[in-house]
Structures are given as C-alpha cells and as structure tokens.
C-alpha cells in the first residue's frame, strides 16, 4: 500500500513541475518544460552600468541581464558550491547574492564604504569581504548574508589598514594581507562568530595583491613598496613568512606602471610558475620547487593577467594600456610565443571554459565579449556587452582561491 502511495506522489510531482516553471517571474530561466543545471553558466561584469550578464558557454548565449548592482569598477565574483548562487563584490562596498537559475537578486547589502574583493569558505557556508574603508574583513552567512564576524585590520596605534589578497584556504580558513601594515593574517573560521587570528608581521612593504597555489598550500603576496614576494607555507605556519624572488618587481628598468599585474592571474603550469613582470615587457618563468627564475620571455607589453589553460599546455597573456588590444599565447613546452591575437580595444579579462576548449575575452571599449577556440585560435563567437570587464564561470566554485 505504501509503495503504491509513494509512486502516486512522485507522479503528481512530475506533472506539477512544468506548471511551477510556467508560473515563475519573467526573469526566470526555467520556462515551460525546461530544467537545467548550472555547470556551463557564468557571469560577465558590465562595469560602467552596474550590471551583469548571465551567460551560457555551451551555446555562447546571454540568458539574462541583471541591473542595480552599484559600482562594479573592480568587481569580483565567487560561487556557492552547488553553482546556483553568485556572490558579487562591488567597489562601493556592496555584496550581492544572485540566483543564476531565476535570473534575479536574492539579497543585496551595503557592508562597507570601499571593498576590493571576497572569498567563500571551504564548506561554502561563509562569504568574506575585504575592505579598504573601513579597513578589515567582514564575514557573512552565505545563505542569509547575516553578519557573523567583523575583523578590523588594526595595527600600530589603532590604525586601520586596507585589506587585499583575501582568499579561502583549506582548514576552513581565510588568508589576507594588510597593505598599510605590511602583514599577513590567517583567520581560522571553525567558529564563525569567534575567528582565531594568526598574524605575521614585517612581511615587506605594501603588499598589493596575493594568490594561493592551486593546491591551497602556499599564499604569496606581491610587494608594491619593494622588490620581491612574501610566501607563507600554510602547512608550516611555524616557519613564518619567507621572502622569495628578491628581484621580482620593476627592477633596473624603470618604466611607468599603468596597471599593477594581478597575482591571482599567475599561471601554474607543469613545474613552473609564469609571472607578469612589473613595469616590464616580459613574462618571468620560475621553477616552482625552488622559486628560482629560469627564463624571461619578452612579450608585447606590460602583462596584467598570465593564465594557464586548464591542461597547462598554453599560457595566455593580456596587457596594460597602451597595448591592451592584444593577447599573446605562450607554449609551455617550448616557452615561446606561438600566437598573437588582436581582439579589440581594452582587453581586460580572460576566462577558460571548464575543460579549456575555449577562452572568453572581455573587450571593454568595443562593448564585446569574444570567444576563441584554444586549439585553432579561431574566433568562434561574439556577444554584445556594455563595457565588459571580469568574466567568471561557475567552475570556480570547486577551485581553491577562486
């Protein structure tokens, strides 16, 4: 008897699903009998208009445009572990939770005066935001956006530092750097309302950006106030911060730096790290075990993002003004440039599809996103977008530090 009842209940649900979809708001992406997943979705930031596009990589389609997100001039995005929700960090301190399937804002809060990015915790339950004003990190419940912890970046005589380079790390931790204080902090978030903070001081002058290695072991901060990098082995916190690549920076050739390179865009491929040289027209190749430089590859301009295709065979590079109409491709095997592309005016960001068969490129001043086949380098699609900048696909949900 119970067996028959359960099957009848399932059948009723099956017939109800199409009705539920039809009754959803007009912005909903689930229509008629269609049910879809989120694995091939992503967000394109339209920085000048405070809006984002929800895109699908399989058919090169824009599914929805969401407006009213404030100042997105330095916006970044992380995803819930089920890939349904995007958390958008605006420069104006706005934190927005976006439902990709319904194509609508779930909640938006103004959590600070000036913020520079964020991260989502290992278990997906916490969202953290790094703030310039007031300096510090705020941590929220990912489901409700309730404030759980406020970590002021205090140093010296009750001064507040700008916070940069916030990443998630294994062990339910967040790691970030204090620009003004020259410090790296590790926050243990096992008890969200009472985080445990470990502080590493005198790590170098003015850390401006940071990354975490794909395996989550090494946190590396770049230094604006001096040459070199600060590295923290998260497996051995007792060893403290180590200085690596002491000559990494502007070096002897003092060119104007139009845009500081993004360390989160470093390419980790094979046994090497490919680094954008600061203020130089070069990509530096470093052996990952020893952090010793092995080669300098001349490129078209000052690199901004140097990112590896998911299989690690090729590295794609874009550049700062005035040479930001160009993208170059480096073959990791030969460490030589094998292709130069001209997508258009002001290439700001690149994002590979999850398995790397295509790369999406934002071309801000041409109001376009261009899609390239990464094997043939042919342009396969163009999507209109208003002053596009960051491109973020849902595959990031399952990668450390993204």
Q: Reply yes or no on whether the pLDDT at 84 is more than 50.
A: yes
Query: What's this model's pTM, rounded to 2 decimal places?
Result: 0.89
The span from the first CA to the last CA of the chain, in angstroms, equals: 50
Over 60: is that where the pLDDT of 315 sits? yes
Q: Where are the domains of the chain?
A: 1-35
Are the C-beta atoms of 250 and 228 separated by less than 8 Å? no
Which tens digit of pLDDT belongs to each residue from 97-141? Answer: 999 999 999 999 999 999 999 999 999 999 999 999 999 999 999
The model's pLDDT over 248-272, given as tens digits with 9 standing for 90+, comes to 875 445 555 555 667 776 788 888 9
Q: What pLDDT, on the 0 to 100 scale, is given for residue 225?
A: 86
E-strand spans in 193-312? Answer: 196-200, 207-212, 218-223, 229-233, 241-244, 267-269, 272-276, 282-287, 292-298, 303-308
Average pLDDT score, the chain = 89
Q: How many CB atoms lie within 10 A of CB 83?
A: 21
The strand order across the sheet containing 85-89 reads 76-79, 85-89, 94-99, 104-110
Q: What is the pLDDT of residues 319-376, one digit of tens each?
A: 999 999 999 999 999 999 999 999 999 999 999 999 999 999 999 999 999 999 999 9
> Is the predicted pLDDT of residue 381 greater than 90, yes or no?
yes
What pLDDT does residue 260 have? 62
Q: Which helix (H) or strand (E) holds 44?
A: strand 41-46
> Mind listing the pLDDT tens digit for each residue in 48-66?
999 999 999 999 999 999 9
Instruction: Output the six-digit token pair for 362.
Output: 């934002």
Token representation of residue 278: 């600061």
Residues 6+ apart with CB under 8 A from 362: 44, 347, 348, 349, 350, 369, 385, 388, 389, 390, 391
In this prediction, residue 9 has a pLDDT band, given cuts at 50, 70 and 90, of very low
H or E stretch covering 13? helix 2-22
Check residue 219 and give its pLDDT.
95
Residue 248: the pLDDT is: 81
Q: Over 90: is that where the pLDDT of 167 sits? A: yes
Task: Give the 3-state secondary structure of residue 248.
Answer: coil
Count Cβ neighbours within 10 Å for each residue of 365-387 and write b for 16 or more, e otherwise. ebbbbbbbebeeeeeeeebebeb
**Per-residue model confidence as pLDDT tens digits over 69-81:** 999 998 999 999 9
């Amino acid at each position: 008897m119970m067996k028959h009842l359960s099957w009848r209940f399932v059948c009723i649900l099956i017939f109800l699903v199409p009705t539920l979809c039809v009754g959803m708001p007009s912005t909903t992406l689930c229509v008629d009998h269609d049910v879809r997943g989120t694995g091939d979705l992503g967000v394109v930031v339209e920085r000048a208009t405070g809006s984002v596009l929800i895109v699908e990589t399989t058919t090169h389609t824009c599914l929805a445009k969401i407006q009213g997100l404030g100042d997105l001039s330095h916006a970044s995005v992380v995803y819930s572990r089920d890939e349904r929700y995007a958390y958008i960090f605006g420069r104006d301190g706005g934190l927005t939770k976006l439902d990709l399937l319904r194509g609508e804002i779930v909640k938006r809060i103004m959590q600070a005066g000036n913020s520079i990015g964020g991260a989502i915790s290992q278990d997906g339950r916490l969202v953290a935001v790094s703030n310039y004003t007031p300096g510090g990190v705020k941590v929220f419940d990912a489901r409700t956006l309730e404030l759980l912890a406020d970590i002021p970046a205090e140093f010296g005589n009750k001064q507040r530092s700008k916070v940069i380079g916030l990443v998630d790390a294994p062990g339910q931790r967040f790691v970030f750097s204090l620009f003004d204080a020259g410090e790296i902090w590790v926050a243990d978030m096992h008890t969200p309302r009472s985080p445990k903070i470990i502080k590493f001081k005198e790590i170098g002058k003015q850390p401006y950006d940071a990354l975490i290695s794909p395996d989550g072991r090494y946190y590396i901060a770049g230094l604006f106030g001096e040459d070199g990098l600060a590295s923290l082995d998260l497996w051995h916190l007792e060893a403290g911060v180590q200085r690596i690549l002491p000559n990494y920076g502007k070096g002897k050739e003092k060119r104007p730096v139009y845009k500081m390179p993004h360390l989160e865009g470093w390419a980790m491929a094979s046994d090497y790290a490919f680094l954008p040289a600061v203020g130089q027209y070069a990509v530096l190749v470093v052996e990952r075990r020893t952090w010793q430089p092995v080669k300098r590859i001349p490129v078209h301009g000052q690199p901004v993002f140097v990112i590896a295709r998911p299989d690690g065979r090729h590295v794609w590079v874009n550049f700062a003004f005035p040479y930001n109409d160009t993208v170059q491709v480096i073959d990791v095997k030969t460490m030589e440039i094998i292709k130069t592309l001209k997508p258009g005016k002001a290439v700001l960001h690149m994002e590979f599809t999850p398995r790397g068969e295509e790369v999406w490129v934002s071309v801000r001043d041409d109001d376009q996103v261009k899609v390239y086949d990464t094997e043939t380098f042919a342009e396969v699609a163009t999507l209109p977008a208003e002053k596009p900048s960051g491109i973020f696909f849902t595959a990031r949900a399952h990668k450390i530090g993204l």
